[in-house]
Structure 1
Amino acid sequence: MNEMTILAFALVAFIGIATPGPTVLLALTNGSRHGVRRAGYGMIGAVLSDFVLIGAVALGLGALLAASEFWFTVVKWLGAAYLAFLGIALLRSRGTLDIASQEPHGAGEGTRRSIFLKSFLVAVTNPKGYLFFSAFLPQFIDPTLPQAKQYIALALVFASIDFIVMFAYAVLGSQAVRFLKRSGAIWLDRVCGGALLALAGSLAFYRRATF
């Protein structure tokens, strides 16, 4: 795998990651609700999910989901239900202002574990991620070279870009909420919650044949 291959992969990966998806939206809302530092736990969860997805694809799970209607449907509905749950929670929010300072360190939805798990589970329960990597990664893999090292290299590049993009969105969220009144903060939650519900709906109607 040469440098040009890595650069081409990084460019395509950046375009895909920067387009707002579930983990990016969570980084934005976590930044506004809990601050960039606490949002970092969600970023770690999302990055770990990148390694899980790419590792699963390297081991053939993506091909299994592409071939099995049953397992594809199971993972799809789990992912759609979880996205809908998060979206509804944001729609019911009463605003994000001062939550980071008011919330006890170890309580409620703002705990490190909760923030981490939300971002991790959103990614690993989305079958589109497995199918995407199954179609995307082999284009940058040289079959004449050891594949494990190549998958590891691509995973590191993808995870690094993912973290940088999520960090930027978390900073955006944390800065935006400083200039919003409470009603504006509520609307920020409403927009992100609606976007997550829309993503849940698109996932619910997603079919393997359209990939």
Structure 2
Amino acid sequence: MLGTVNLPEFTLGALLIVLLPGPNSMYVLSVAARRGVRRGYRAALGVVLGDTVLLTLTAAGAASLLSRSPALFDVVKYLGAAYLAWLGIGMIRAALGVVRGLRHRAAGTVVTQDSATAAEREATDHNPLRRALIVSLLNPKAILFDLAFLSQFVSPHAAHPITAFFLLSVIVQIFSVSYLSALILGGDRLAARFRRRRRLTASLTGGVGSLFLGFAVKLATASLG
């Protein structure tokens, strides 16, 4: 079918892969829970654009270039790890800022609404699309994984392998958009509770920040093997 093989197996595998937690999905959930549906979908659009670029590069052979050049792989790898770590530290600092604000209030210190939420605004950024796009792109392992996974389901006898890659990529993106939409809508339902309970908001922000630090370590220690 259009140069693909074992399409049902690919569909099931793609679904399971999309459902695995990662920095993209965690960031989208965090933005939606704290800033609402509109901001959540901006972050999701950044993820979709980043994934589209990676899938296109995979089909064009960029993954083979990375796999043949360990030095280039390391450069992209460490850039991605550093950016994830920077995001994680920023979120943890924002969470600590919210907690300190709550303690000042409990102690009777006057804290304005603007100062109480400044750290939180810093963590969410005014452009979640851009931030999500960068998170998606700075992941060379994603390109290599796309190549290793998608290539298994492209027929070696396909007259137009690009068409097969396109079909498989569309399936992955449909699952991705559906999953991110579920996270966004679920996060929005929690948003009112988070706004009422600022300590819960701080816990979410700090937890996601810690996950990002973990993702950074995992990426920094990744290898081509």
TM over 0.5: yes
The runs of 5 or more residues in structure 1 that have no matched partner are: none
Distance (whole Å) between structure 2 residues aligned to residue 41 and residue 109 of structure 1: 12
Q: Which amino acid aligns with 1:190?
A: G
Identity over the aligned pairs, expressed in percent?
31
Equivalences for residues 1-211 of structure 1 within 5 A: 1=1, 5-93=6-94, 94=97, 109-111=124-126, 114-145=127-158, 146-180=160-194, 181-209=197-225
Shift of 1:179: 2.5
1:49-68 Cα offsets, whole Å, 9 max, x none, are 12111111111111111111
What do residues 77-101 of structure 1 show as CA deviations (whole Å, max 9, x unaligned)? Answer: 1110111111111111145xx99xx
TM-score normalised by structure 1 residue count: 0.87
Contact 1:34 1:110 in 2 (8 A): no
Q: 8 Å contact 1:80–1:203 — kept in the other structure?
A: yes
TM norm structure 2: 0.82
One-letter amino acid matched to 1:198: G
1:178 deviation in Å? Answer: 2.3
**Could you say which structure has the larger radius of gyration?**
2
- Cα deviation for residue 109 of structure 1 reads 4.8
Contact 1:10 1:161 in 2 (8 A): no
Alignment root-mean-square deviation, CA: 2.3
* 1:127-177: CA deviation from partner (whole Å, max 9, x where unpaired): 110110111011111122211111111111111111111111122222223
Contact 1:50/1:155 (8 A) holds in 2: no
Structure 1 position 4, deviation (Å): 7.8
Q: Which amino acid aligns with 1:199?
A: F
